[in-house]
Structure 1
Amino acid sequence: MKVKVKYFARFRELAGVSEEIVELPDGAKVKDLIKIIKERHPKFKDEVFEQSEDADVNVSRNGSYVNFDEELKDGDVVALFPPASGG
């Protein structure tokens, strides 16, 4: 299956592109996609990208925020955002 990945803010800089198509096996989850992104873009290896209460990435699938165990489907659009900070 193929999903479109969109990168925002710092993640766009790390990837060097604003979006790309990633091919995954059927039944792949967000965490599988993150693993492929780390392999494809070595600068991501410096980022933690671990799903926890203090996650270093926010992930949306087709406009809704999801966790790393969310299963992906062919044609999904996945967006990666750095965590928001503010005050």
Structure 2
Amino acid sequence: MTVLVRYFASARAAAGVEEEKLKLPEGSTVADAVRLVRELHPGPLPRILDAASFLLNEVAVRNQDRALSDGAQLDVLPPFAGG
């Protein structure tokens, strides 16, 4: 299956891309996608992922064990400063 990962703010800078498509096996979870992103971008991005929030199809992910579906969209949102 294919999942579109979109990166925002410092995650985008660390990944070096705005978005990318990941090929994952059927039955993969958000945690599996995050693990693959860590492997693809071993520089500063893994540290950002430790503090990031995720949206799956525009809904906040509370549990990274949530299953992905083909064509899903996963957004990586690093912590934002400001008020």
**Shared fold (TM-score greater than 0.5)?**
yes
C-alpha distance 49-12 of structure 1, shift in aligned 2 (>3 A)? closer
Distance 1:32 1:48 in 2: 17
2:75 pairs with 1:79: yes
Distance 2:8 2:48 in 1: 16
> Is 2:7–2:76's contact at 8 Å kept on the other side of the alignment?
yes
What is the letter of the counterpart of residue 15 of structure 1?
Answer: A
> Deviation at 1:69?
1.2
Find the residue that maps to 1:12 and give its secondary structure: helix
What is the letter of the counterpart of residue 57 of structure 1?
Answer: A
> Deviation at 1:84?
3.2
> Is 2:11–2:48's contact at 8 Å kept on the other side of the alignment?
no
CA RMSD of aligned residues (A): 1.4
Tell me the percent identity: 38
Among residues 66, 70, 79, which one is paired with 1:70 in the alignment?
A: 66
* Structure with greater proportional helix content: 2
Deviating 4+ runs (over 4 angstroms): none
Match of 1:53 in 2: none
C-alpha offsets along residues 23-52 of structure 1, whole Å, 9 cap, x if unaligned? 00111111110110010011223x0644xx
C-alpha distance 57-24 of structure 1, shift in aligned 2 (>3 A)? same
Number of aligned positions between the proteins: 81
C-alpha distance 16-48 of structure 1, shift in aligned 2 (>3 A)? closer
